[in-house]
Chain A
């Protein structure tokens, strides 16, 4: 109820109680922890460097599959891009194929010790992002990316390569910037 404050000479309204946000806190589900964490069987929560090394070798088992499958995908994508150069109606298909391939290589290259492929694929993915088609020069830029990826894969260039490879990556990025427009 409001009242007259003799001190300030003003009519004072009582403070309305603040509305609290309706937040529900649900306790953590500990079932998984209860079932799986123990002191007898399984893998240490903090793995030793040897155990991490062994686990990494398990990941690397798929390395050969990566080289084989991505090699095949690169060849197929190159064919699709070349088809797009000669036939405008095939360009959207080439863009989709290039986008899928770029994402796969970007995602997996580094896992299998090909971080250079991840770098180039990233440049390629940025270039095709939000495109539905491309002009001739843009398709040629894509083709250069695909060829570079293939050379790295065929030459088994692991790691980030030498200055030559890094210069190639920089050149490809510059090319994508130069031919970025029009983006349709």
Chain B
């Protein structure tokens, strides 16, 4: 028997100023059975929603007017005023160059989806967020999901001490 995901149990927040892009994500989530989907155009509106409603997953565009998606992520992960520091955030962006991916990763992004995307890619990010939750790491300089996706065998007493 195959494991399934019941999307009606999950609430989503889409933060995207682009009408068509937001609509595509909304349609996909609605088709999957999600019944609680909120759409906002700016991070400020997103914070309002996050403070008043229970949201499980945020899908955010990088390029937003005013505060951009990266600043939004920074506030979510690192601010004392954050409504939920642990919330999974899927970043959508047409900036797919490596430097953008690493910047987003180092600010605590959960998943990164480069535009133009297709339905399969979006679905795989949703599955990853829901079925493979990652431990969170809190250091002096980073707060967010564990950035190491590949678990490499280490033969030694203290792996982190090698960094020094």
Contact = CB atoms under 8 A, between A and B. Distances in A.
Contact of A43 (B18, B27, B33, B120): B33
Interface residues of B, number: 53
By DSSP majority rule, is chain B's interface helix, strand, loop, or mixed? mixed
B139 interface: yes
Contact of B9 (A35, A59, A70): A35
Nearest to B133: A28
Interface stretch (B39-47, B100-108, B122-130): B122-130
Given A36-B6, A44-B3, A46-B2, A66 B20 contact: yes
Contacts of A30: 133
Interface centre among A18, A107, A118 (most CB of B within 10 A): A107
B63 A59 contact: no
B133 A33 contact: yes
Interface string A62-87: 10011001100000000000000000
A108 B4 contact: no
B32 interface: yes
B135 to A, nearest CB: 5
Given A22-B140, A37-B3, A44-B4, A115 B127 contact: no
A103 B63 contact: yes
A23 B5 contact: no
A92 interface: no
B28 interface: yes
Interface of A: 18, 20-30, 32-33, 35-47, 52, 54-56, 58-59, 61-62, 65-66, 69-70, 103-104, 106-112, 115, 118
12 contacts: A32-B10, A36-B7, A38-B6, A41-B6, A41-B8, A44-B2, A52-B119, A59-B24, A66-B20, A104-B21, A108-B18, A115-B116
Interface of B: 1-10, 18-21, 23-24, 27-28, 31-33, 56-57, 63, 86, 88, 93-94, 115-120, 123, 127, 129-131, 133-140, 146, 158, 160-161, 163-164
